[in-house]
């Protein structure tokens, strides 16, 4: 057996739902504890840092708004990778991953939209403008809701997985549009000040709380994603067992 | 509305959303575990679970 096929086999062994349940049961409490620790340090830094000389106290909204916006895009990227896993490798957990990431992504996008609006009113003088960045993030939110609705509308998980995987990959075109919208179009939303080719232009006073909060949000996403995946595996097991019970009851009646 | 009120509203909205998400994941997990336990108590088990024992 070649080294590559051995590596693939090792990976698919890990992706076995039973093994995933066993492994995740050990991992998630640790992840939850580390997430809580990062949030404690992050929130302390958020409120201990000084206000901005122009924005005053409202700069603190950034520590929630920016990580939530990053996560809204990262979550969709995780879904796109999972969609590839469903369509190309028919990975048993890929569909579970894509399906369970959608509600979490929708929540992070909702937080980004709400906190952005609450930051926009005092700084821009308006709750909302239909500029390229805000509109593309709003489209992302609608896409999350659409994918959740689609998964709930189709009874057969295998069929729902295929259709939603195609939709997720088509919708992925929105992610670079969100990222570069502030450069391609004239937007009220400011251009990137952290993830830039020439390095962050933001002062370390604001950068550190932002980075710690970003790590906390990322850990929160992965912890909740693992737990939601565990729930989805159990949901499918329950459905299988109920089908099995119904079938054996049917045989019992037929043999009478 | 003062600047502090906008900050408080932002953190409050984020906290409520995250708390709701955590609660939903937790309640969903608890409901699924109960369903699975009820099925197993009724003698309905996965074949692979039977083999493992």
- What is the pLDDT, as a whole number, of residue B53? 37
The yes-or-no verdict on residue A256 having pLDDT over 80 is no
> How does residue A204 score in pLDDT terms, banded at 50, 70 and 90?
confident
Which chain A residues are within 8 Å of B12, Cβ to Cβ? none
Range of the domain at B40: 20-53
- Grouping H, G, I as helix, E, B as strand and the rest as coil, residue A11 is helix
**B window 14-53, beta carbon within 8 A of A:** 14, 17-18, 20-22, 24-26, 28-29, 32-33, 35-36, 39, 42, 44-46, 48
ipTM of the complex: 0.88
Which chain B residues are within 8 Å of A114, Cβ to Cβ? 10, 13-14, 17
Which chain B residues are within 8 Å of A238, Cβ to Cβ? 32, 35-36, 39
Provide the token pair at A217.
Answer: 């949000």
Question: In this structure, is residue B6 part of a structural domain?
Answer: no
- Grouping H, G, I as helix, E, B as strand and the rest as coil, residue A53 is coil
Give the pLDDT confidence of B6-48 residue by residue, as tens digits: 999 999 999 999 999 999 999 999 999 999 999 988 887 776 6
Give the pLDDT confidence of A49-96 residue by residue, as tens digits: 877 777 778 889 999 999 999 999 999 999 999 999 999 988 889 999
- What is the pLDDT, as a whole number, of residue B49? 58
Distance from chain centroid for Cα A60 = 23
Contact A109, A137 (CB under 8 A): yes
Q: For chain A, what is the mean pLDDT? A: 88
- What is the pLDDT, as a whole number, of residue B47? 67
Question: In this structure, is residue B9 part of a structural domain?
Answer: no
What is the mean predicted confidence (pLDDT) over A135-155? Answer: 94
Count of Cβ atoms closer than 10 Å to residue A69 Cβ: 22
Tell me the H-state helices in A185-203: none
Contact A154, A163 (CB under 8 A): yes
Which chain B residues are within 8 Å of A61, Cβ to Cβ? 6-7, 10
Among the listed residues A60, A42, A43, A97, the one whose alpha carbon sits nearest the alpha carbon of residue A75 = A97
Question: In this structure, is residue B36 part of a structural domain?
Answer: yes
End-to-end CA distance of chain A: 52
The angle at the Cα of B11, spanning B7 to B15, to the nearest 5 degrees, equals: 170
> How does residue A28 score in pLDDT terms, banded at 50, 70 and 90?
very high
> How does residue A6 score in pLDDT terms, banded at 50, 70 and 90?
low
Contact A181, A132 (CB under 8 A): yes
Contact A126, A120 (CB under 8 A): yes
Contact B44, A250 (CB under 8 A): no
For residue A249, CA distances in Å to A60, A236, A240, A243 come to 60, 20, 14, 10
Give the pLDDT confidence of A84-139 residue by residue, as tens digits: 999 998 888 999 999 999 999 999 999 999 999 999 999 889 999 899 899 999 99
The yes-or-no verdict on residue A187 having pLDDT over 70 is yes
- For residue A224, give the nearest of B9, B10, B22 by CB distance: B22
d(CA A96, CA A24): 14
**Number of domains forming the structure of chain B:** 1
Cβ contacts of A129 within 8 Å, gap of 6 or more: A120, A188
Q: Which of A100, A213, A241 to mutate to test the interface with B (most CBs of B within 10 A)?
A: A241
- For residue A107, give the nearest of B10, B17, B44 by CB distance: B17
Which chain A residues are within 8 Å of B26, Cβ to Cβ? 227
Q: Which residues, listed in sequence order, are joined to residue A56 by a DSSP beta bridge?
A: A52
**For the ranges A66-80, A85-99, A168-182, A239-253, which has the lowest average pLDDT?**
A239-253
Contact A86, A162 (CB under 8 A): yes
- What is the pLDDT, as a whole number, of residue B28? 96
- Which domains are delineated in chain A? 17-240 (1.20.120)
What is the mean predicted confidence (pLDDT) over A6-31? Answer: 82
> How does residue A254 score in pLDDT terms, banded at 50, 70 and 90?
low
Among the listed residues A16, A216, A228, the one whose alpha carbon sits nearest the alpha carbon of residue A102 = A228
Q: What are phi and psi of B2, to 5 degrees?
A: -75, 165
Question: In this structure, is residue B37 part of a structural domain?
Answer: yes
């Amino acid at each position: 057996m070649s080294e590559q096929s051995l590596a693939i086999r090792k990976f698919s062994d890990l992706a076995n739902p039973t093994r995933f349940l066993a492994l995740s049961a050990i991992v998630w409490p640790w992840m939850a504890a580390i997430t809580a620790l990062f949030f404690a340090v992050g929130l302390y830094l958020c409120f201990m840092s000084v206000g901005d000389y122009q924005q005053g106290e409202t700069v603190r909204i950034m520590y929630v708004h920016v990580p939530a916006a990053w996560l809204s895009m990262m979550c969709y990227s995780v879904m796109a990778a999972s969609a590839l896993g469903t369509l190309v490798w028919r990975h048993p957990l890929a569909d579970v991953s894509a399906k369970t990431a959608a509600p979490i992504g929708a929540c992070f996008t909702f937080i980004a939209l709400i906190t952005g609006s609450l930051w926009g009113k005092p700084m821009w003088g308006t709750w909302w403008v239909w500029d390229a960045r805000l509109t593309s993030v709003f489209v992302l939110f609608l896409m999350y809701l659409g994918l959740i609705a689609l998964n709930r509308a189709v009874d057969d998980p295998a069929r729902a997985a295929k259709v939603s995987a195609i939709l997720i990959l088509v919708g992925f075109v929105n992610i670079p549009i969100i990222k570069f919208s502030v450069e391609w179009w004239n937007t009220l939303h400011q251009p990137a000040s952290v993830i830039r080719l020439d390095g962050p232009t933001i002062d370390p006073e604001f950068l550190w709380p932002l980075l710690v909060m970003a790590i906390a949000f990322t850990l929160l996403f992965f912890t909740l994603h693992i737990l939601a995946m565990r729930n989805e595996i159990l949901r499918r097991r329950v459905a299988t067992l109920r089908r099995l019970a119904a079938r054996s009851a049917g045989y019992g009646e037929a043999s009478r | 509305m003062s600047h502090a009120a906008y900050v408080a509203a932002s953190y409050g909205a984020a906290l409520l959303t995250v708390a709701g998400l955590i609660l939903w994941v937790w309640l969903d997990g608890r409901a699924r575990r109960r369903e699975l336990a009820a099925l197993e108590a009724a003698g309905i088990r996965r074949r692979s679970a039977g083999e493992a024992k």
